[in-house]
Structure 1
Amino acid sequence: MKMKLAALALAFAAALPAQAALTNNAADIGNAIVVDFEAYDGFFTTGPEAVAPGVIFTGDADSQLGGFIANLGNNGIWGAGNHFAATGNIGELRFTFAELTAGVGALVNHFAMNDFPFSVVVSAYGDNNQIIETYTLAVSTGEASENEGLFLGITRDVADIRSISFKGNGVVVNNLAVAAPVPEPETYAMLLAGLGLIGMAARRRT
């Protein structure tokens, strides 16, 4: 009876829509693969380019991997020993994952000017390239800042993120964190069923 209730609960949870949260804390991504772009040195490419096992980059024209200097206007500069990914004046950086993930984010900044309300659009996409979450935010770090930014991440209660994109004017991205794959609800159900069978076999022996 308990096994049936557990299986029903898992099936019900799987049927519910995934809950999402925008986070500014890299620790919320949990056990993550981190891509720092240090393996690249000013490589202009639209991709596809494997930047880590199971992580594929694509971007618009003028996208760069391993950028080493960027003038972000009122948001200071990026570089000074740290390599990063960057768009051109206006563009998109997208990272697609071989395995669906429940959380992904990166340290982000963008070009800013007092007279223009520039911002960055962070979007998570599902398996069919549909947007499942999107946020538009402005980052403000000051003209004297160097390699500063804001961690922008999206977490879900199920692993349904296939890719993430960062769009805007002069967007820079570093330390992309991708949550390690977690078992699907069906896997948990099978695990519980297997444990139940082991328990029944043990009872029969005793």
Structure 2
Amino acid sequence: MSILPIRIYGEPVLHEVATPVGEVTDDIRSLVADMFETMDAAPGVGLAGPQVGVGKRLFVFGYTEDDGTVRRGVAIDPELWIAPAEPESLEELDEDEEAEGCLSFPGERFALRRSPRALLRARDLDGAPYELLAEGWFARILQHEYDHLDGIIYVDRLDRPDHKQAFKIMRKRSWGGPGKAWLPGADELDGVA
């Protein structure tokens, strides 16, 4: 296993719709092992194929709930259904409860409204289908990672003034074009800018 470079906003693979994995091969299993190692080293709670330069529909996740329940797995060729936003979604965003970060927009966090529930259908490393019902923060993680498979990074979904602020940061750090990546454990986030 090895830690993979994480692509930064602007790398073309991050902004394209990923293609299906299809058959789960030894190469895919090896990639998934590397993705778990990379996610853990970052540290993060999820990592999608495009974030490590692989335009395939897969992501890994690793999250511990407040009650100690560990949610860790891989989603290969996933489908995701989300519940409509609750009426309180018209209220102001909660900067603590709704703040999100992204390993492909490192070092920053912005509040983003997500659905409180999600249903994930995917395949595991054996190619077996499974289904997960997620709520709260875990539902947010699944939505965030699934967006990566459709070429969407969470800062693309921000409303003003956060959208404007995120893109100001990106310009200041010379992101937004190809060739930018960072290696967890080797690069300081400030050194990525």
Q: Which has the higher helix share?
A: 2
Q: Which has the higher strand share?
A: 1
Which protein is bigger by CA-based radius of gyration? 1
**TM superposition score normalised by structure 2:** 0.22
**TM superposition score normalised by structure 1:** 0.21
